Amino acid sequence: MIIVEVVYEIKEGCRQELYDRLMVEHVAENSRNDEGNLKYDYYFDPENENRMILLEHWTSLELLRKHSQSEHLAKMRSWRGAYVTGQQVRKFECTEI
């Protein structure tokens, strides 16, 4: 399994607006429907109002790469800069125990 953690640094006061846009644009819904997706959930950082975390679980690196080339992510990348000032992405490969 591949786990991806994305930490978004968000413009001051725009966290809820970004989350709402992600929901209206169906980014999470479409991503959850991508082949190989096991989990795709956003979390608000309780200690930082300008940070949001995305956790993704994928069955394989190949399907994660296919997801990263999807139309819905390309569309999201076109407007993400209106809300996001930076992001940190970490990828983990693991086996279930």
Task: Count Cα neighbours of 79 within 13 Å in the Cβ-side half-sphere.
Answer: 11
Cα separation, 40 vs 25, in Å, equals 15
- Report how far residue 7's alpha carbon sits from residue 33's, in angstroms, rounded to the nearest whole number: 22
Which domains occur in the chain, in start order? 2-93 (3.30.70.100)
41/44 Cα distance (integer angstroms): 10
User: Nearest CA to 54 among 71, 68, 35?
Assistant: 68
Q: What pTM, to 2 d.p., does this model score?
A: 0.89
pLDDT digits (tens, 9 = 90+) for 26-65: 999 999 999 999 999 999 999 999 999 999 999 999 999 9
Residue 33 structure tokens: 């429907």
